[in-house]
Structure 1
Amino acid sequence: MLLLAVMWGLSIPVTKLGLETLPPLTLTAMRFAVAVPLLFLFAVGKQRLSWRAFPRAAALGILGIGVGQVAQAFGIQGTAASVGTIISATIPVFVVVFAALRLKQPVTGRQQLGLLAAFAGIALVAFGHGQGEVLRSSVSGVAWMLLSAVAIAFYYVWSVELTRDYGTAAVAAWSTLFGFVALLPWAGWEAWHNPVHVTAQGTGVAAYLGVMVSVAGLFLWLHILRTVPAPVAASVQYLQPVFGIAAASAMFGDQLGALFAAGVVLILGGLALAVATRRKAEEAVPHE
């Protein structure tokens, strides 16, 4: 669990590092060029996806990667790594909202309070003034990160039924493939208009994101869910932003001011209230 929290927590700061040498679409395409073959390797011998499930898997892949992961890359480019990390941590909060809509899970008063606290925290993180890390984050960057959190949460909740019928391995492999294929023309367009210089730093980041975050993180998460109670496994959600913010501070010198700290407290407190009692949607898929 500690290893997983570190792996996922480093994803935003490491992506920020990769964007220093590679444009967003190219980095995202390289990440999933690494992840797709490995996901299919892990899916060998598992339950297969039926033909009638392919359109849904394709739609989920386009949403999760074509919108969610691409928006995250643009968002990280436009925000400080610490800001991107804590906004990304709101994904489970949006999962609760979509689970109420799609899976008809009731939202309790406690969860409503958690949602309000989390969104208040987002406002503090995004629009606070006088804090060094906020001044290096654009409004558009914050908007991209929020779009990413919403799209990824939507992907998680709407994939629950498919993963119950066909297993996580098959759904993850095929949806990722479809999303990757849909992304390729846009990455090609980006490369055509902006000269891309592939560096060792960019390649290393893409490999880390593809292997450690997208693939190893997925199967480590599934292993944890099989071996420890879900409420214990969920503690990864609270540790991840802690490691991410610490890494951002060390790697990029983000100064964590009072408003940012207050926003972090509100978001993590809201997360604790919002997801404490409803975990069905979250158990089906990993955080990242």
Structure 2
Amino acid sequence: MDRKIFIYAIVAAMIWGLSFPVTKIGVEITSPILFAFLRYAIASILFFILLLYRNAFHISNLHLFALLGIFGVTLPTIFQNIGLQYTSSYITGFLQSTGPIYTVILAYLFLGEKINAYKITGIFLAFIGIYFMMQPGAGGDIFGNILVLSSAICYSIGGIIAKSLINRGYEAFSVIALSSILGTFFLLPALPFENLSMSNESIKYALFLAIFTTFIAYLLWYAAMEKMEISKLSFFTYLIPVFSLISSHILLNEEIKIAAIIAGFIAVMGVAIAQRA
């Protein structure tokens, strides 16, 4: 494996893991939907510039891009940001890492994809881990955890829509960029109901998430995707909750519950088994 590609994948996973505690800091000083809008508005400007440069705009299948904007950006970001006000960022990292499980289930229910004993075993393990992470002793809040799980399910629905668009011949980058722009637009109707006050700190954290998490990390990931098999690349996603755990403790001094770590790794193991099936 090219060392540079390996570094791209590691850095992308590290940035995504770091995004959970940074987002938690942001939503503690800014209303959650306003913070989401700031992040994606900045990222959308960057995506727009790059789309112009690449001449990658598309006006066909706009309904699918709109749906992807809703399920891949608007709803999951709202659910996650509000959820982070109630639960810990490292548990959020573990719960978000279970997203592929819902994709397997949804693909079976709606796309007719086959499911086998390995996938069923993986799903079962993942749900055991999720169940124990949802318990009060794990260190999170049940309401916040449910919102984060809802966010992960939305991302899974978005992933299926994105796959449909890529199968129609769209570049993966264009799919992410256009859906981010549309998802930002769909955040606008909620802003009048938010406290719109913000500080320089709010903008600083939103800038970090926009530039690094939403823009640079995806560019690194897709650069790695061009040179590495998807099956190998997906292993790096299992590092995201690990980086989330470490950065949450360093940045927020979150108390790490052993029960939550065990439950989280059981869930991630289930995801790995289901994805390898």
Deviations 1:32-89, CA, capped at 9 Å, x for gaps: 11111111222233443233x1122112212222211111111111101111111111
Query: More deviation in 98-107 or 34-43?
Result: 98-107
1:187 maps to what in 2? 191
1:145 maps to what in 2? 148
Query: Runs of 4+ in structure 1 displaced over 4 angstroms?
Result: none
Which consecutive residues of structure 1, in runs of 5 or more, have no partner in the other structure? 278-288
Report the Cα distance in structure 1 between the residues aligned to 2:55 and 2:116, rounded to whole angstroms: 37
Which of 45, 59, 65 is matched with 1:50 structurally? 59
1:154 maps to what in 2? 157
Report the Cα distance in structure 2 between the residues aligned to 1:163 and 1:221, rounded to whole angstroms: 16
Give the drift of 1:19: 1.4
TM-score (norm 1): 0.87
Give the drift of 1:223: 1.0
The answer on whether the counterparts of 1:57 and 1:175 sit within 8 Å (CA) in structure 2 is yes
Letter in 1 for 2:275: V
The answer on whether the counterparts of 2:88 and 2:254 sit within 8 Å (CA) in structure 1 is yes
SS at match of 1:20: helix
2:36 equivalent to 1:28: yes
SS at match of 1:235: helix
Letter in 2 for 1:48: F
Give the drift of 1:260: 1.0
Give the drift of 1:128: 4.3
2:93 equivalent to 1:85: yes
Aligned pairs, how many? 267
Give the drift of 1:11: 1.0
Deviations 1:102-145, CA, capped at 9 Å, x for gaps: 4432122111111111111111111142x5xx1xx321101100
Report the Cα distance in structure 2 between the residues aligned to 1:149 and 1:236, rounded to whole angstroms: 18
Matches within 5 A, 1:227-246: 227-246=227-246
Report the Cα distance in structure 2 between the residues aligned to 1:163 and 1:204, rounded to whole angstroms: 33
2:120 equivalent to 1:112: yes
Letter in 1 for 2:68: L
1:217 maps to what in 2? 217
Letter in 1 for 2:187: L
Report the Cα distance in structure 2 between the residues aligned to 1:228 and 1:190, rounded to whole angstroms: 43
Report the Cα distance in structure 2 between the residues aligned to 1:98 and 1:218, rounded to whole angstroms: 24
2:94 equivalent to 1:96: no
2:203 maps to what in 1? 203
2:255 maps to what in 1? 255
1:176 maps to what in 2? 180
Report the Cα distance in structure 1 between the residues aligned to 2:109 and 2:208, rounded to whole angstroms: 34
1:285 maps to what in 2? none
Letter in 2 for 1:26: L
Which of 70, 73, 97 is matched with 2:78 structurally? 70
SS at match of 1:234: helix
Report the Cα distance in structure 1 between the residues aligned to 2:226 and 2:156, rounded to whole angstroms: 22
1:127 maps to what in 2? 135
Report the Cα distance in structure 2 between the residues aligned to 1:183 and 1:99, rounded to whole angstroms: 27
1:166 maps to what in 2? 170
Report the Cα distance in structure 2 between the residues aligned to 1:55 and 1:215, rounded to whole angstroms: 23
Report the Cα distance in structure 2 between the residues aligned to 1:220 and 1:103, rounded to whole angstroms: 30
The answer on whether the counterparts of 2:173 and 2:222 sit within 8 Å (CA) in structure 1 is no
The answer on whether the counterparts of 1:80 and 1:254 sit within 8 Å (CA) in structure 2 is yes
Report the Cα distance in structure 1 between the residues aligned to 2:119 and 2:25, rounded to whole angstroms: 35
1:9 maps to what in 2? 17
The answer on whether the counterparts of 1:48 and 1:166 sit within 8 Å (CA) in structure 2 is no
TM-score (norm 2): 0.91
The answer on whether the counterparts of 2:11 and 2:217 sit within 8 Å (CA) in structure 1 is no
